[in-house]
Structure 1
Amino acid sequence: MKRQRIGEGNQPLICTPLVGKQRESIRLELHHVLEKRPDLIEWRVDFFEGIANTEKVLDLAQEIKESAGDIPLIFTLRSVREGGQPVSLNDQEALKLIEAICQKTEVEYVDFELSNSEEAFKELRQVSLESQTQIIASYHNFEFTPESEILLGKIAEAQRLSADVAKIAVMSQNLHDVLTLLKVTLNAKETVDIPLISLAMGQYGTITRMMGGVFGSSVTFAVGESSSAPGQMPIEDLRSVLGILQKSIGQV
Structure 2
Amino acid sequence: MNTVKVRNLELGSGIPAICIPNMGKTKEEILSLTEQYKSMPMDLMEWRVDWFEGVEDTQAVLDVLAGVREKLGDTPLLFTFRTKKEGGVHEMDTAAYVALNKAVAATKMADLIDVEIFTGDAVVSDLIAAIHESGTKVVASNHDFDRTPAQSDIVYRLRKMQDMGADIPKVAVMPQSKKDVLTLLAATEEMATDYADRPIITMSMAGLGSISRLSCEVFGSCLTFGSGSMASAPGQIGAQELSRVLASVHGALGV
TM-score using structure 2 length: 0.94
Which residue in 2 is equivalent to 1:204? 208
- Residue in structure 2 matched with residue 5 of structure 1 by the alignment: 10
Unmatched runs of 5 consecutive residues or more in structure 1: none
CA distance in 2, matches of 1:74, 1:143: 25
2:90 aligned partner, one-letter code: P
Q: Deviation digits for residues 24-65 of structure 1, max 9, x if unmatched?
A: 111121121111140010000001110010011011112212
User: Number of aligned pairs?
Assistant: 248
Within 2, Cα distance between the matches of 1:96 and 1:35? 33
Secondary structure of 2:208's aligned partner: coil
Residues 85-110 of structure 1: CA distance to partner in whole angstroms, max 9, x if unpaired? 123x3111111100111101321100
Is 1:123 matched with 2:126?
A: yes
Q: Distance in 1 between matches of 2:247 and 2:41?
A: 15
- Counterpart contact for 2:108–2:134, Cα < 8 Å: no
In the alignment, is the contact (CA less than 8 A) between 2:158 and 2:171 conserved in 1? yes
Note if contact 2:41-2:239 (Cα within 8 Å) is conserved in structure 1. no
Equivalent residues of 2:172, 2:203 under 8 A apart: yes
* CA drift at 1:117: 1.1
The whole-number CA distance in structure 2 between the counterparts of 1:136 and 1:126 is 13
1:60-75 pair list within 5 angstroms:
60-75=64-79
**Who is 1:59 aligned against?**
63
| Structure 1 position 10, deviation (Å) | 1.3
CA contact (8 A) 2:23 2:51 kept: yes
Instruction: Identify the match of residue 97 of structure 1 among 87, 97, 100.
Output: 100
Q: Are positions 1:27 and 2:15 aligned together?
A: no
Where do 1:1-252 residues align within 5 Å? 3-7=8-12, 9-87=13-91, 89-190=92-193, 191-250=195-254
Distance 1:223 1:126 in 2: 31
Secondary structure of 1:35 counterpart: coil
Q: Which runs of 5+ in 2 are unaligned?
A: 1-6
Return the alpha-carbon distance in structure 1 between the equivalents of residues 85 and 49 of structure 2: 15
Shift of residue 146, structure 1, vs aligned partner: 0.7
Mapped contact 1:155–1:188 kept (Cα < 8 A): yes
Identical-residue share of aligned pairs (%): 35
Give the C-alpha shift of residue 5 in structure 1: 3.4
Per the normalisation by structure 1, the TM-score is 0.95
Paired AA for residue 164 in structure 2: L
Secondary structure (helix, strand or coil) at the match of 2:149 reads: coil
Displacement of 1:194 after TM fit?
2.1
8 Å Cα contact 2:20-2:225 kept in structure 1: yes
